[in-house]
């Protein structure tokens, strides 16, 4: 069908997109790799030469590393569990017949469109603040001492904010998956006398499992690099410093480029491990 000329043309039309993305990927990546092997301190003497694997070793042996790994895992897993469990329930609910379904959908999806700096600051000040926040008001109303959430429960605070942002996403994706389910299959099961629980467990859950996997993978990639929500709330204090935030501080605050770059390489490797699984699912779908 395609002639040789159109193939050449097709390649040329693809070229701009491929070339800019290749440049975007390779240039900073190679620079990060290069810096990660240098002893590079711009404010304290500049490039002090080859460092071997020193930066890599120092990054993972520093006292801040394991707490950062733990903080990252807590935020990613906490948000994933909340958004996936509530997302499944909410998607099942929204799939039921009701009045004003369109409006409810709009209400539910809205938080996803709120920019991270706004959601971070609104939650921090207007809800979690121990003096004037709504949570504090509610606590006082029932006679409990208000909690300074950001300081005393930084993970709860951050997970609350990220879950609020990502629950709409999970719900929307899972709802789309449920709605694509063939209702005849469910009707047939119902006629065969399969009880509701069984219908849910043997038909709906397997049908949703791929959508759930996709939600988990995509959210993991975004959550691993959560930044603004932490930047405007705890700024990495109170033990809430994630890997992303740790690297950010090494690079921009303490200006230790070699060390920060080694951390960056770890972050890239970590993200790629997740990405490989996502790509496999997406790739399979391309063949279908």
Partner 1 sequence: MARSITARRKTINTAIAWSIGLLIFFPILWTILTSFKSEADAIAFPPKFLFFDWTLENYAVVQERSDYTRYLWNSIIIAGLSTLIGVIIAIPAAWSMAFVPSRHTKDILLWMLSTKMLPAVGVLYPMYLIFIKLGLLDTRTGLVMVLMLINLPIIVWMLYTYFKEIPGEILEAARMDGASLPKEIIYVLTPMAVPGIASTLLLNFILAWNEAFWTLNLTAAKAAPLTAFIASYSSPEGLFYAKLSAASTMAIAPILIMGWFSQKQLVRGLTFGAVK
Contact flag: residue 88 with partner 1 (CB under 8 A): no
Question: Which residues 55-74 are close enough to bind partner 1 by CB under 8 A?
Answer: none
Interacting positions 164-183 with partner 1 (CB under 8 A): 164, 167-169, 172-173, 176-177, 180
Q: Least distance in Å: CB of 206 to partner 1?
A: 15
Tell me the C-alpha distance between 257 and 36, whole Å.
7
Residue of 82, 90, 91, 204 that binds partner 1 (CB under 8 A): 90
CA 201 to chain centre: 27
Torsion sign over Cα 33, 38, 42, 43: positive
Q: Which stretch binds partner 1 (CB under 8 A): 46-54, 57-65, 198-206, 224-232?
A: 224-232
- The answer to the question of residue 260 lying near partner 1 (CB under 8 A) is yes
Tell me which residue of 238, 257, 237 sits closest to 247, measured CA to CA.
257
Binding residues for partner 1, total number by CB under 8 A: 108
221 binds partner 1 (CB under 8 A): yes
- Subset of residues 3 to 62 that bind partner 1, contact rule: CB under 8 A: 6-7, 9-11, 13-14, 16-18, 20-21, 24-25, 27-29, 31-32, 35
Interface region with partner 1, contact rule CB under 8 A, candidates 46-54, 55-63, 66-74, 280-288: 280-288
Nearest-angstrom CA–CA distance, 72 and 184: 43
Nearest-angstrom CA–CA distance, 188 and 184:
6
Closer residue to partner 1 (CB): 137 or 198: 137
- Of 106, 105, 156, nearest to 127 by C-alpha is 156
* Nearest CA-CA partner of 68 in 221, 226, 257: 226
Length reported for the chain: 288
């Amino acid at each position: 069908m395609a002639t040789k000329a159109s193939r050449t043309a097709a390649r040329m039309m693809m070229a701009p997109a491929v070339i800019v993305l290749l440049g975007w990927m390779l240039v900073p990546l190679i620079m990060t790799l290069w810096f990660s092997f240098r002893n590079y301190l711009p404010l304290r003497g500049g490039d002090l030469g080859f460092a071997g694997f020193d930066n890599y070793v120092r990054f993972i042996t520093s006292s801040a590393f394991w707490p950062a790994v733990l903080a990252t895992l807590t935020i990613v897993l906490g948000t994933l569990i909340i958004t996936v469990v509530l997302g499944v329930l909410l998607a099942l609910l929204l799939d039921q017949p009701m009045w004003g379904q369109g409006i409810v959908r709009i209400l539910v999806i809205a938080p996803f469109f709120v920019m991270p700096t706004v959601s971070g600051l609104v939650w921090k000040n207007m809800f979690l603040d121990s003096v004037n926040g709504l949570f504090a008001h509610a606590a006082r109303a029932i006679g409990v001492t208000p909690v300074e959430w950001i300081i005393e429960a930084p993970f709860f605070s951050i997970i609350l904010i990220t879950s609020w942002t990502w629950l709409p996403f999970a719900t929307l994706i899972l709802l789309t998956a449920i709605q694509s389910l063939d209702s005849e299959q469910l009707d047939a099961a119902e006629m065969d006398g399969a009880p509701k629980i069984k219908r849910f467990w043997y038909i709906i859950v397997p049908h949703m499992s791929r959508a759930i996997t996709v939600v988990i993978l995509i959210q993991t990639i975004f959550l691993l690099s959560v930044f603004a929500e932490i930047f405007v709330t705890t700024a990495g204090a109170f033990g809430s410093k994630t890997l992303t935030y740790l690297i950010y501080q090494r690079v921009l605050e303490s200006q230790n480029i070699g060390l920060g770059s080694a951390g960056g390489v770890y972050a890239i490797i970590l993200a790629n491990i997740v990405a490989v699984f996502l790509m496999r699912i997406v790739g399979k779908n391309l063949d279908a």
